[in-house]
């Protein structure tokens, strides 16, 4: 991990992630347990994908933002769990034969390969609705207006102006010659940046952020969300298949438009760095309290998977 560019020189992202990932994994584990025999199969499918071992970037962003505002981890945990449920739902549905038709995700057979297409669709639906229930039921000691705001934002981030809308635009542009940079940005802002944005904003809201602070957090997250996708495109052409656990350079072989194809490799790297520097600037008002989020921003472009 390259976190040399963070402001607080003694901050270790490795240590920070170690301290957060344990509690996040434990909270996720209990979140979809079956309580009656009739639900064993769907809960198993939900749990299979939820516990398949992602980077947990969205939960960490949520908790880090909450703590930056002076809130605590437990207050943000139900929302952190909900974000990972929503993210997992989007991956299950993205991998379906009707969408990307992928057999592997996070190095394991995809949900529909193991449980069938029908159960995978339903497991995604159940994860999505459970995410809202989880926030409403398990967030304790946080003013109700903040919880309501978080639930509204989570809902919006999945809808037409979020994941689903981004995915539809992506389908429309698939294989179409001449996808523009603006179209590519719109897709990624909605497919990827929106959920990162709601992760940071909802953590901040739970922590008691002012409207101005929420806007600063949103701007930060938008920029790291775009940078995340630019970095993904760069990784697809630069990383070895061993690093990625998937086929390196796969996008070169398809019609998919990428930043690397539109801008070139060097310009894409420069653009990702520019986005990250802009993002970090948004958190200047928070001083050293922003150290974890600043380090995560660097990690997003320096990561190897």
Binding region for ligand GRG (CB under 6 A): 54-55, 57, 87, 90-91, 93-94, 99, 106, 158, 163-164, 167, 191-192
Handedness of CA 221, 223, 227, 230 (dihedral sign): positive
Inter-residue contact 60 to 78 (CB < 8 Å):
no
| Closer by beta carbon to ligand GRG, 97 or else 287 | 97
| Closer by beta carbon to ligand GRG, 44 or else 125 | 125
CA distances 213 to 94, 128, 178, 217, Å, are 33, 28, 38, 6
Q: From CA 207, how far away is CA 67, in angstroms rounded?
A: 7
Q: Which of 191, 269, 203, 193 is nearest to 230 (CA)?
A: 269
**Shortest spacing between CB 10 and ligand GRG, in angstroms:** 27
Inter-residue contact 159 to 197 (CB < 8 Å):
no
Tally of CB atoms within 10 A around 30: 8
| Closer by beta carbon to ligand GRG, 98 or else 284 | 98
| Closer by beta carbon to ligand GRG, 163 or else 214 | 163
Residue 186: φ, ψ to 5°: -60, -45
Strands (DSSP E) contained in 28-118 are 104-105, 108-109
| Closer by beta carbon to ligand GRG, 73 or else 192 | 192
13-31 vs 291-302: helix axis angle to the nearest 10? 90
Which class for 26: exposed (0-12), middle (13-18), buried (19 or more C-beta within 10 A)? exposed
DSSP summary character for residue 96: S
Strands (DSSP E) contained in 199-268 are none
| Closer by beta carbon to ligand GRG, 131 or else 142 | 131
**Shortest spacing between CB 281 and ligand GRG, in angstroms:** 23
Inter-residue contact 211 to 237 (CB < 8 Å):
no
| Closer by beta carbon to ligand GRG, 52 or else 263 | 52
Which class for 290: exposed (0-12), middle (13-18), buried (19 or more C-beta within 10 A)? buried
Which class for 10: exposed (0-12), middle (13-18), buried (19 or more C-beta within 10 A)? exposed
Please give the residue whose beta carbon sits closest to ligand GRG in the complex: 54
| Closer by beta carbon to ligand GRG, 110 or else 139 | 110
């Amino acid at each position: 991990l390259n976190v040399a560019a963070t402001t607080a020189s003694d901050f270790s992202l490795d240590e920070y992630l170690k301290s957060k990932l344990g509690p996040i994994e434990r909270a996720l584990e209990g979140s979809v347990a079956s309580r009656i025999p009739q639900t064993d199969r769907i809960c198993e499918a939900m749990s299979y994908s939820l516990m398949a071992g992602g980077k947990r970037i969205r939960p960490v962003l949520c908790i880090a933002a909450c703590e930056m505002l002076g809130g605590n981890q437990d207050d943000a945990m139900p929302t952190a769990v909900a974000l990972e449920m929503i993210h997992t739902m989007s991956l299950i549905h993205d991998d379906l034969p009707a969408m990307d038709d992928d057999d592997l995700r996070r190095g394991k057979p995809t949900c529909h390969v193991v449980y069938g297409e029908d159960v995978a669709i339903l497991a995604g639906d159940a994860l999505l609705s459970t995410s809202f229930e989880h926030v409403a039921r398990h967030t304790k000691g946080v003013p109700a207006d903040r919880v309501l705001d978080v639930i509204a934002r989570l809902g919006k981030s999945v809808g037409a102006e979020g994941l689903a809308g981004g995915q539809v635009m992506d389908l429309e542009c698939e294989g179409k010659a001449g996808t523009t940079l603006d179209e590519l940005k719109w897709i990624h802002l909605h497919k990827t940046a929106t959920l990162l944005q709601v992760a940071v904003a909802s953590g901040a809201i739970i922590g008691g952020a002012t409207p101005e602070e929420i806007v600063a957090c949103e701007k930060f997250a938008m920029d790291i969300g775009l940078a995340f996708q630019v970095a993904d495109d760069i990784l697809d052409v630069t990383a070895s298949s061993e690093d990625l656990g998937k086929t390196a350079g796969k996008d070169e072989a398809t019609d998919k438009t990428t930043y690397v194809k539109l801008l070139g490799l060097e310009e894409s790297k420069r653009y990702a760095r520019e986005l990250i520097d802009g993002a970090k600037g948004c958190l200047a008002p928070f001083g050293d309290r922003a150290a974890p989020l600043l380090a995560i921003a660097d990690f997003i472009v320096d990561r190897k998977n």
